[in-house]
Amino acid sequence: MKTLTAEYYTNREVSWLAFNERVLDEARDKNNPLYERAKFLAITQSNMDEWFQVRVASLYQLRHVKEQQDVSGLSPHEQLKLVSDLAGQQIKEQYQVLNRSILPALEQHGLHIVSIEQITDEQRSELAGYYQSSVFPVLTPMADDQTRPFPFLATDSLNLVVSLAKGNEDRMAIVPIPDILPRVIAIPEFAGQYILLEDLIRLFIDGLFTGFRVKSATAFHILRDMELDVTDDEGPNLLVEVQQKLFERERGAVIRLVHEKNMPKRILGRLMRVLDVADSRVYAVNGPIDLDFLNKLVKFGSDPTARYPKYSQYLDESLSDERIFETIADHDVLLHHPYDSFKPVVNLIQQSAKDANVLAIKMVLYRVSGNSPIIAALSAAAHAGKQVTVLVEVKARFDEENNVHWAQELERQGVHVIYGLKGLKVHAKVALVVRREGDDIKRYVHLGTGNYNDVTANFYTDLGLLTTDAEMGIDVASVFNVLTGYSDPDYFNQLYMSPDGIREALIDRLHQVRAAKRAGHDVKVRFKANSLSDKEMVDEIFAASQDGVPVDMLIRGITMLKPGIPGISENIAVHSIVGRMLEHSRIYIFEIDGQAEVFLSSADLMTRNLSRRVELMFPILEPALAQQVIDVFDTMWHDNVKTRVLQSNDDWVKQNRRSTEPINAQKVFIADAVARVATQKQARERREAQQSQFEPVNHPF
């Protein structure tokens, strides 16, 4: 294998910004419905916010460690400078898309954000009543002077900084924008006219500072370091420790300041000093702060053609009621969400709660919805006297508070709750139902690539397996014994579990494929994941390429290797799909002479997933289902509408569709789901017609 030097790798943060640029491209793409383009633009904002709060914050903490370099040869300080500059350029591009494309198009569709300068006296009069009754009572102006410390500002908060004058004296005050109020407000009696909450406050701000003259009121937004660091040392109860860390995190260092471009220099300088934020992480924007307002604005839209068309998810009728046990016992079931409904997964837990033969339910919950039917079903099962054990990962990033709440609620309902593990996040997606059937005990298992979240399951693509395979059932039971007790099994029959187990399994199979290629066999490797940022895995993929193994990878986000380099990676191709659905499934396929081993996993090809998390990888044993997974991959691989192809210079290029039929993989899957729904409906109608045809006629007398 040739020596690998820094030039063959891409910095992970630069690669992440390239991913967010691909999302921004969807906001630019006029082939997308208008409201959806606006949402894509808002997504680029939320993506970048999270990235700053976690990844940039980590670089900031490491900026003085000069000897520590990433795979591309950059120190933390060099990375911080590079990505801060690139982020600034991307923020400018966001606002170019907003001002030149999205807002003018929304205005043509009857959704007009009215600025302070455009407000008429009549509109001001219409807004005055709402301001006085609903806004003014909840505002809290906070002075900044020598007698009072600068007020604490929460992360992700939007604020107005107000410059005031009284005689020859200048003052400054902060007015937090209340997040309990709607950000976008319809102007009464003016259809299609809307004002942002911060502008409404500015419109009447004189009333907050009687006796002073308001010289300026400009908006700004801050983000703090939000990384949650729970120590591995023996300490207090994990739940208590997480709750304490959440409190401390709210007061983390300010990692970014975004402000309106017309903010006075004196005011900006004061903010930078008191918030202790460097110039490299301060960004001026030409437009409304925090683009999330677009999500609120398009909710007022009434044009159905400006949204993605609705479609029917496929739901196998035999998986929607009590027949689900009989169906899974008869054959394994593969679910491809969101094209296949998530309801069978929910129904399995709901039926298990009601079924008298079900003895126990065990689950791992990483992220759940705010009103989760699975939580309700687990509570009902506990009330019914079943053994219910749930591991709730209270360290799930940005869902910590939600998960702490649900963990405590489940415990109150009589569920045995494990609050995660010390030093490891549990990211596996697994459920086990133990059912008595005659004199036997049968294990019903669900394994998936995505969370047990009935809301995100409608727009995240994930794959799941429902099975009663005996060996998998034994393995899953062993997994739960590891998570809840002190078990340390020597081996698993079918499953692989990280830390270490998944990495070893993937590398072992890459070695098998490489050996087969050297022996003259036809081989192929296909991976689909959210990110590829583990150096050991990257190097193993480089080695496979150098042995002549074709490696096709669908990677949605970060990709640290450069493909197409002669002698290094010329057999590697990397595609990325950003579309209507968020690609979330993980697929690993190894093929030798047409015989493929197909695995699904909760784990991405990232160091944290392979070395610092509990993850599961599982095989698809039924040949027909394995072929379905291969078909899913191949359909996506041939997508030429939403696909970008990674070049050796780190550019992402759209597929050349000249003289070819457009293939949008996600649309193909939607069309297939709609067709299966129609076929099932027709079959049901035929059965009903046959039944009615032979129904006996009651005696008329």
| pLDDT, tens digit (0-9, with 9 covering 90-100), for 163-182 | 999 988 889 999 999 999 99
Q: At residue 552, what is the residue type? A: D
What digits encode the pLDDT tens for the residues 362-391? 999 988 887 899 999 999 999 999 999 999
Lowest-confidence segment of 71-80, 134-143, 652-661 by average pLDDT: 652-661
CB–CB of 256/283 below 8 Å? yes
Whether 427 is catalytic: yes
Look at residue 248 and tell me whether its pLDDT is greater than 70: no
**Can you tell me the mean pLDDT for 576-585?**
97
In this prediction, residue 86 carries a pLDDT of 96
Residue 445's DSSP bridge partners are 432, 467
Those residues whose C-beta lies under 8 Å from the C-beta of residue 166, and which sit 6 or more positions away, are 211, 212, 213
In this prediction, residue 698 carries a pLDDT of 62
Q: Greatest CA span in the chain, whole angstroms?
A: 104
Look at residue 107 and tell me whether its pLDDT is greater than 70: yes
Whole-angstrom distance, CA of residue 120 vs CA of residue 116? 9
Half-sphere exposure at residue 128, Cβ-oriented, CA atoms within 13 angstroms: 9
Lowest-confidence segment of 102-116, 217-231, 308-322, 457-471 by average pLDDT: 217-231
Other Cβ atoms closer than 10 A to 93: 15
Look at residue 233 and tell me whether its pLDDT is greater than 70: no
Q: What is the pTM of this model?
A: 0.93
Whole-angstrom distance, CA of residue 443 vs CA of residue 340? 23
In this prediction, residue 398 carries a pLDDT of 62
Look at residue 491 and tell me whether its pLDDT is greater than 50: yes
Look at residue 212 and tell me whether its pLDDT is greater than 70: yes
Look at residue 692 and tell me whether its pLDDT is greater than 60: yes
In this prediction, residue 420 carries a pLDDT of 76
Look at residue 413 and tell me whether its pLDDT is greater than 60: yes
In this prediction, residue 237 carries a pLDDT of 55
CB–CB of 55/124 below 8 Å? no
- The active-site residue, picked from 112, 336, 337, 427, is 427
CB–CB of 50/23 below 8 Å? no
CB–CB of 29/193 below 8 Å? no
In this prediction, residue 150 carries a pLDDT of 87
Whole-angstrom distance, CA of residue 433 vs CA of residue 359? 8
Look at residue 243 and tell me whether its pLDDT is greater than 70: no
Other Cβ atoms closer than 10 A to 356: 9
pLDDT confidence bin for 236, thresholds 50/70/90:
very low
Burial classification of residue 541, based on how many CB atoms lie within 10 Å of its CB (0-12 exposed, 13-18 middle, 19 or more buried): buried
Q: Name the helix (H) or strand (E) containing 298.
A: helix 293-298
Residue 411's DSSP bridge partners are none
Residue percentage of the chain with pLDDT more than 90: 80
pLDDT confidence bin for 240, thresholds 50/70/90:
low
In this prediction, residue 3 carries a pLDDT of 82
pLDDT confidence bin for 67, thresholds 50/70/90:
confident
Lowest-confidence segment of 59-63, 332-336, 453-457, 567-571 by average pLDDT: 59-63
Look at residue 61 and tell me whether its pLDDT is greater than 90: no
Look at residue 285 and tell me whether its pLDDT is greater than 90: yes
Q: At residue 336, what is the residue type? A: H
CB–CB of 222/153 below 8 Å? yes
**Can you tell me the mean pLDDT for 247-260?**
79
Those residues whose C-beta lies under 8 Å from the C-beta of residue 592, and which sit 6 or more positions away, are 512, 513, 516, 521, 522, 523
Match 């450069």 to its residue by tokens: 562
Sheet containing 184-186: order of strands: 112-113, 193-196, 184-186
pLDDT confidence bin for 394, thresholds 50/70/90:
confident
How high does pLDDT run on average in the chain? Answer: 92
Those residues whose C-beta lies under 8 Å from the C-beta of residue 431, and which sit 6 or more positions away, are 345, 348, 349, 361, 362, 363, 364, 445, 446, 452
